[in-house]
């Protein structure tokens, strides 16, 4: 256990480990070694140990890790024992799709509200979730205790939306607009850029040698 800076790559993997443990737990496994975990889920055992060691000494030498125990630890580290409320800005196809996206609830996130600027959409519902005027964003954030905002608006509006979100005191943002956003230092933004992923696939297809992915 060190008081070092923990890289985002590590925390991303923590999330993966938790998923693996959930699967093992559902199969009734009591303990697991970093080696078995690595073999089973195509990970590297040294990396698993190193990642976990950033947060504490969870293992038992000669035995491995207790599945339920480690599961609890990871859940706590990732802050997943607490329910988080989410507000989605942009009630287009993507925003509404995310509104009842299964994975949100999996990860203890609840979508509390949708926001849009389009008069026609305001007041409508997607499932149980109402669409509000984005002008009232700050107000509803306070009322519903929203901690996470999702930006699902076209690229040209994304920066303005981010500023509104920031003013409302939101510190965690998931951005689907394909542009880099400028944010205050204490605001965490995760951008999911589908355009980059697509163009990366396109590049791959354009390569003459689509032969050897190897090992």
Which residues lie near DNA (CB under 7 A)?
A: 1-2, 7-10, 33-35, 44-47, 49-50, 52-53, 57-65
CB of 113 to a copy of itself, least distance (A): 17
Rama region for 87: left / alpha / beta (φ>0; ψ in -120 to 50; rest): beta
CB of 135 to a copy of itself, least distance (A): 24
Convert residues 55-94 into a mask of x (bound to a copy of itself by CB under 8 A) and - (unbound): ----------------------xxxx-x-x--------xx
Tokens of 61: 């030498």
Query: CA-based angle 56:62:64, to the nearest 5?
Result: 50
Q: Is 205 helix (H, G, I), strand (E, B) or coil?
A: helix
DSSP letters spanning 113-128? EEEES-TTTTT-EETT
Beta bridge partners of 85: 110
CB of 63 to a copy of itself, least distance (A): 26
Q: Which partner from the list a copy of itself, DNA, none does 44 bind, CB cut-off 5 to 8 Å by kind?
A: DNA
Beta bridge partners of 133: 116
Closer to a copy of itself by CB, 116 or 147: give it.
Answer: 147
In what side-by-side order are the strands of the sheet with 109-116? 125-126, 129-133, 109-116, 84-89, 148-151, 172-175, 188-191
* Binding residue for a copy of itself, selected from 104, 115, 132, 137, defined by CB under 8 A: 104
Place of tokens 């026609």: 120
**Contacting positions for a copy of itself (CB under 8 A):** 8, 11-12, 14-16, 18-19, 41-42, 77-80, 82, 84, 93-94, 96-97, 100-104, 106-109, 147-148, 154, 171-174, 178-180, 182, 184-188, 190, 192, 194-206, 210-215
């Amino acid at each position: 256990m060190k008081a070092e800076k923990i890289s985002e790559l590590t925390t991303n993997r923590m999330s993966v480990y938790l998923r693996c443990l959930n699967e093992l737990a559902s199969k009734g496994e009591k303990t697991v070694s970093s080696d078995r975990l690595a073999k089973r889920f195509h990970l590297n055992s040294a990396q698993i140990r190193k990642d976990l060691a950033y947060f504490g000494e969870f293992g038992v030498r000669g035995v491995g890790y207790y599945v339920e125990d480690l599961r609890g630890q990871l859940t706590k580290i990732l802050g997943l024992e607490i329910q988080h409320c989410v507000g989605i800005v942009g009630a287009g196809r993507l925003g509404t799709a995310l509104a009842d996206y299964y994975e949100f609830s999996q990860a203890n996130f609840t979508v509390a509200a949708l926001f849009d600027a389009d008069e026609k959409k305001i007041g409508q519902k997607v499932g149980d979730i109402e669409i509000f005027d984005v002008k009232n964003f700050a107000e509803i954030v306070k009322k519903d205790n929203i901690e996470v905002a999702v930006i699902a608006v076209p690229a040209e509006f994304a920066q303005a939306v981010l500023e509104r979100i920031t003013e409302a005191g939101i510190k965690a943002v998931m951005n689907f607009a394909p542009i880099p956003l400028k944010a205050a230092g204490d605001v965490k933004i995760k951008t999911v850029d589908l355009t980059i992923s697509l163009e990366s696939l396109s590049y791959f297809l354009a390569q003459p040698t689509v032969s050897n992915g190897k090992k």
